[in-house]
Copies of this chain bind each other. A is one copy, B any other.
Amino acid sequence: MEKRQDTKRMKHTVSLPPSEKRKMRYVKLNVLPDDILLTVRQGETILEALQNAGIEAGMEIEGDCGGLGKCGKCKVRVLSALDSPSPEEEGLLDEEELNQGIRLACRTKIEKDLVFYAGETEPGLEYHQVLETGYRPLFQLDPLLSQQLITLSLSSEEEGGLADLERIKLMLGPEYKDIRASLHCLRKLPQTLAKTHFRGSAVFHDNCLLDWQDWEKGQQRCGLVFDLGTSTLVGKLINLQDGSEVVVLSCVNSQMKHGSNVISRLQYINEHVHGLERLHNLLIKDLNRITERLLELGGLEADDIFIAVAVGNTTMQHFLLGVPPYGIAEAPFPPVVIDGLVVKAADVGLRLHPEAVLYTMPIRSGYIGGDLISDILVSEAAEQQEEIVLGLDLGTNGEIFLGNGKRLLTCSAAAGPALEGAKISRGMIARAGAIEGVSLQDGQLHYRIIGNIQPIGICGSGLVDLTAILLDIGIIDYEGLIHRIRKRDATPLVHRIISRGGVNDFLIASAEESYDNRPIYLTQKDIRQLQLAKAAIAAGINTLMDEMGIGVQDINRVYLAGALGNYVNPISAIRIGLLPKVRPEIIWSLGNAASTGASMVLLSKEHWRKAATLAQFIEHIELSYRVDFNQYFIEHMDFPEDSKK
């Protein structure tokens, strides 16, 4: 746990713009229903935080009194636990409102992570936890998109009939003599030059002039990053001048209704004539929706965005492009294309500038996708020559990498969706109401719940914590069976074991304790699902170690990424055997490394080249062909014996 705090501190040092690097404490503010996640200064009021982020206009919660607590119009509905209302709030709000969590944005100080709803209607539960960017290596900014602020002479007379494009080249100097211009740009160039009075921002991609825009547009040039998760889509608006994240949004991947994982979606497109088209369109619709909100919150228009980088697993990247991934459904799982692509964003249906360019991350194979390449890029594993790095991206599939710049092995272990909460009776993804962490204090379980509300279910990191604790106190044995054990440690919790049809389940929260008044259990079946998942990951790690000819003691660093990887307690993960027995202090969280890697590409051509090299360099070990993997898988079904005994 200490390690994780270390990591968090590091995150801020690296990912925030220099001006923010003062010794301040930061907390997360989550704004519903738009699902905006902000990192704000502890102690700010909600109104200040929104104003500092420049998004108050979109929110329409600003009152008339200028934040003095007098008009009572900046009402918000806070979902997280709150301190007592301020005197102003007690005066301006009635008791029912106060009980419902209604507060004034100008009076509510943000002391810890806080979720609130900026509107009058019932929030529902649309909020998801967006992984923080987390660790991002330092690098020189050299974005895929470049621009120049240019002033031309007002008329071409003095340049003797020089063509419009030639005048721009002349002004830019010899190194720009080979630039081209897109047809779209040429078609409106005379008009835009005249309209901007020959003073504007020339936007280039790869030596091609995409547009000539108002000078002012060039002052805050942004790009987009899309992280195409199987369950969750994340969009980030990134400032190309300083590399900062301007706005981050996420939403459930609408493809979920046609299958919760890659396999079931591949099955869906195989069985439906227009299946691929439908999944492609759903994805594009989601991304356009995210983009629209990102732009609205960032004060930009679609025409201002010329560049986007998308990352996801191999199948998701094929869905994005509308390229049929049928082959990935069956061994040997061939995709259609593995190169990182550069296409017109409009050609896949994204509504950005008509000439905007979309990059997709390079891929290694059917199950080693752009997301793992991103992870490796962020981890800088390939820059290491001596140290051995183990990396895990834990989502529906567990992707693993092991090695360094001399040799880097990768594999994909079908962990199943248990680690993301699916197939667990009250499992859920990491969103408001999910138990994301469990601790044992004075013989009682304490839950950390996303959004600080009553629990609705349990997500992967909570499941791992809870299982680790129940293993420690003997309620779960090494084979995974729940026992009514009579040990001293277990006594205060034994009453939570409920026998149903000859099988024991563990009551996490009673009907009264839960958000929706339905009891939450950890069932015997849930534990079996977890065992299958963690066995697959552990066996994958063992197989790579064998292939590399090393043991656990040779691993110098472990990187965790992905939905679970970022939030799991490393000690709990080791306890249940999901991770090998390494020293917890060598375990680092990479945060949402997939999107971080994509933004590194967006911000630096060097990383785009590196990603391509990486995709060629890494070796892919296909586990389904390995006898040793199957052997390890069976061995790892059991939980490890408690090492403390």
Q: Which residues of A contact B (CB under 8 A)?
A: 156-157, 159-166, 180-181, 183, 186-187, 189-191, 321-324, 326-327, 331-339, 341, 343, 347-348, 363, 365-366, 622
Of the listed residues A323, A333, A348, the one surrounded by the most CB atoms of chain B closer than 10 A to its CB is: A323
What residues of chain B lie closer than 8 Å to A324, measured between beta carbons? 187, 190-191
Closest B residue by C-beta to A276? B187
A331–B158 alpha-carbon span in the complex (Å): 11
Give the CA-CA distance A420 to B374 in the complex, in Å: 65
Docked complex Cα distance between A322 and B188 (Å) = 10
Closest chain B residue to A191 by CB distance? B324
Whether A189 and B332, one on each chain, are in contact in the complex, defined by CB atoms closer than 8 angstroms, is no
> Max chain B CB contacts within 10 Å: which of A166, A321, A322, A348?
A166
Residues B622 and A160 in contact, CB atoms below 8 Å apart = yes
CB neighbours (8 Å) of A183 from chain B are: 321-323, 341, 343, 347-348
Shortest CB–CB separation between residue A182 and chain B, in angstroms? 9
Chain B residue with Cβ nearest A358: B183
Contact A163 B334 (CB under 8 A): yes
CB-based contact A161/B622 at 8 Å: yes
Q: Say which residue of B157, B160, B322, B334 sits within 8 Å of A156 (CB atoms).
A: B334
- Complex Cα gap A361–B88 (Å): 74
Q: Closest CB of chain B to A623's CB: distance in Å?
A: 12
Q: How far is the CA of A162 from the CA of B368 in the complex (A)?
A: 12
Give the oligomeric copy count: 2
> A335 with B163: in contact, given A187-B321, A190-B327 (CB under 8 Å)?
yes
- Residues of the B chain whose Cβ atoms lie less than 8 Å from the Cβ of A327: 156, 164, 190
CB-CB nearest in chain B for A620: B161
Closest to A318 in B: B186
**Residues in chain B near residue A186, CB distance under 8 A:** 321, 323, 336-337
A161 touches B321 (CB 8 A): no
Q: Are the C-beta atoms of B338 and A165 separated by less than 8 Å? A: yes
Contact in complex: A161, B338 (CB < 8 Å): no
Residues on the B chain within 8 Å of A334, using CB: 156, 159, 161-164
Min Cβ gap A196→B in Å is 15
Q: Residue on B with the closest CB to A184?
A: B347
**A322-B187, A324-B187 known; A165-B343 Cβ under 8 A:** no
- Nearest first, the 9 closest Cβ-Cβ pairs linking A and B are A161-B332, A156-B334, A163-B338, A186-B323, A163-B335, A165-B337, A164-B336, A161-B334, A161-B333
Tell me the smallest distance from the CB of A519 to a CB of chain B, in Å. Answer: 46
A161 proximity list for chain B (CB < 8 A): 331-334, 365-366, 622
Chain B residues, Cβ within 8 Å of A331: 161
Q: Cα distance A331–B160 when bound, in Å?
A: 9
For A322, the chain B residues whose CB sits under 8 A away are: 183, 187
CB distance from A275 to the nearest CB of B (A): 14
When distances are taken between beta carbons in the complex, the residues of chain B under 8 Å from A339 are 165, 180
Instruction: Determine whether the beta carbon of A190 is less than 8 Å from that of B326.
Output: yes
How far in angstroms is the closest Cβ of chain B from A192?
Answer: 11
CB closest residue in chain B, given A169: B339
Are B338 and A166 closer than 8 Å at their CB atoms? yes
CB distance from A234 to the nearest CB of B (A): 24
CA distance A347 to B323 in the complex (A): 22
Q: Do residues A163 and B337 form an inter-chain contact, with CB atoms below 8 A? A: yes
Contact residues in B for A622 (Cβ distance below 8 Å): 160-161
